Amino acid sequence: MATIRVRGNWGRLALALLVAPWVSGCGGLVASLGVAEQDDIVRVRSTAPVRPASDPRMLVLRVTAAQPEWPGTRPLVAPPRRAIRCEQVKCVALTFDDGPYDHTGAVLDTLARYGARATFFVVGQMVTPQSTHYLRRMVSEGHEIGNHSWDHPALPSLAGDGVRDQLGRTQRAVRAATGVTMRLFRPPYGATDGKVAEQAARAGLAQIMWDVDTMDWRDRDTSLVTRRASAAGSGSVVLMHDIHKTTADAVPGLLRDLAARGYAFVTVSELYGADLVPGRSYAGRTGTDGATGRR
């Protein structure tokens, strides 16, 4: 703390005008300039103020939000996980495979209009500079992202090292794009075995199957996809693919039909309501007692 001796009120006023721009916001003058103190001594802070330590991650968020032109990628802030009890509420988990692709944006737009959340199982090769914004939208809008391998092979046909590479490369690509470490995995074609399950467990990934298949990859018919998806029951996991325009066009109708029947649209993790066991295979919840469908 520095001390400066001044005489009279005019001297104190002049000093205040001189130092105010330098100390404003950093503790300011510690003594009132309107009242004389001990022989007209005014004490001015000459050291940095002591502030409580803050979380560096929160500091990054505040600084970036305050400066829209800040260089680099803006950090993602996902909405909080909802407290939905699917053993008491009619829930359905819509899932989309093989993207992100050109029609992923239309699917996200429709989900946003209905306040619906879904789970997207992404292929690592599809994560490109042109598609990264879709992944970031998924996170910021409360959707869940799962691993669907690097380039969609039948994983049981690969050696263990090959399966590990397929999962690991996709994990790294999505984490680099979003900061998210995926906890779910859908084997391409639903093809799995003990070797695939072992590698999934090592990667911390639960295997997610389905109990409603819209066959949208084969039948590019919007009305047919809508009808098949709308037949879902409470606890269903519905399989679709956001790489097809006919599927993107079907989403408004199926959301409208299921909402009219009182369904809540949830992510896979919300459907189960707890952390899923890595390596274990799940295929939807059935019935009102909350029994878990597994394979």
Which residue has tokens 């003058």?
Answer: 29
Q: Are residues 233 and 157 in the same domain?
A: yes
pLDDT of residue 26: 44
Q: 27 in a domain, yes or no?
A: yes
Q: Are residues 103 and 47 in the same domain?
A: no
In sequence order, the 6+-apart residues with CB closer than 8 A to the CB of 154 are 188, 189, 191
pLDDT of residue 51: 54
Length of the chain (residues): 295
Model-level pTM? Answer: 0.73
Residue 92: is it exposed, middle or buried by C-beta count within 10 angstroms (0-12/13-18/19+)?
A: buried
Check if the beta carbon of residue 264 is closer than 8 Å to that of residue 84: yes
Is 97 designated active site?
A: yes
Lookup: tokens for 38: 């001990």
- Please count the other Cβ atoms lying within 10 Å of the Cβ belonging to residue 15: 16
Q: Are residues 170 and 274 in the same domain?
A: yes
Q: Are residues 223 and 148 in the same domain?
A: yes
Question: What is the maximum span of the chain, computed from C-alpha positions, in angstroms?
Answer: 92
Q: 65 in a domain, yes or no?
A: no
Lookup: tokens for 202: 């090592």
Q: Are residues 28 and 156 in the same domain?
A: no
Instruction: Tell me which of 103, 143, 241, 244 is the catalytic residue.
Output: 241
Q: 30 in a domain, yes or no?
A: yes
CATH of the domain at 255: 3.20.20.370
Name the domain count of the chain: 2
Which of 71, 50, 52, 51 minimizes the C-alpha distance to 60? 71
Check if the beta carbon of residue 123 is closer than 8 Å to that of residue 152: yes
pLDDT of residue 274: 75
Q: Measured in whole angstroms, how far is the alpha carbon of residue 291 from the centre of its chain?
A: 27
What pLDDT digit, counting tens, does each position of 196-230 carry? 999 999 999 999 999 999 999 999 999 999 999 99
Q: Are residues 225 and 278 in the same domain?
A: yes
The 3-state DSSP class for residue 199 equals: helix
Low-confidence ranges of the chain (pLDDT < 70): 1-77, 286-295
Which of 49, 31, 93, 62 minimizes the C-alpha distance to 285? 93
Q: Are residues 263 and 130 in the same domain?
A: yes
Q: 63 in a domain, yes or no?
A: no
Q: Are residues 108 and 15 in the same domain?
A: no
Q: Are residues 35 and 129 in the same domain?
A: no
pLDDT of residue 57: 59
pLDDT of residue 286: 62
In sequence order, the 6+-apart residues with CB closer than 8 A to the CB of 135 are 100, 122, 127, 145, 174, 177, 178
Question: Which DSSP state fits 4?
Answer: E
Residue 40 Rama label (left phi>0; alpha psi -120 to 50; beta): left
Q: What does residue 223 show for φ and ψ, rounded to 5 degrees?
A: -65, -35
Q: Are residues 121 and 250 in the same domain?
A: yes
Cα separation, 114 vs 67, whole angstroms: 32
Q: 71 in a domain, yes or no?
A: no
DSSP output for 45-113: --SPPP-----HHHHHHHHHHH-TT-SSPPPP-PPPPP---TTTS-EEEEEEES---TTHHHHHHHHHH
Q: By residue range, what is the domain housing residue 183?
A: 91-294
Q: Residue 281: which H helix or E strand, with range?
A: strand 281-286
Q: 73 in a domain, yes or no?
A: no
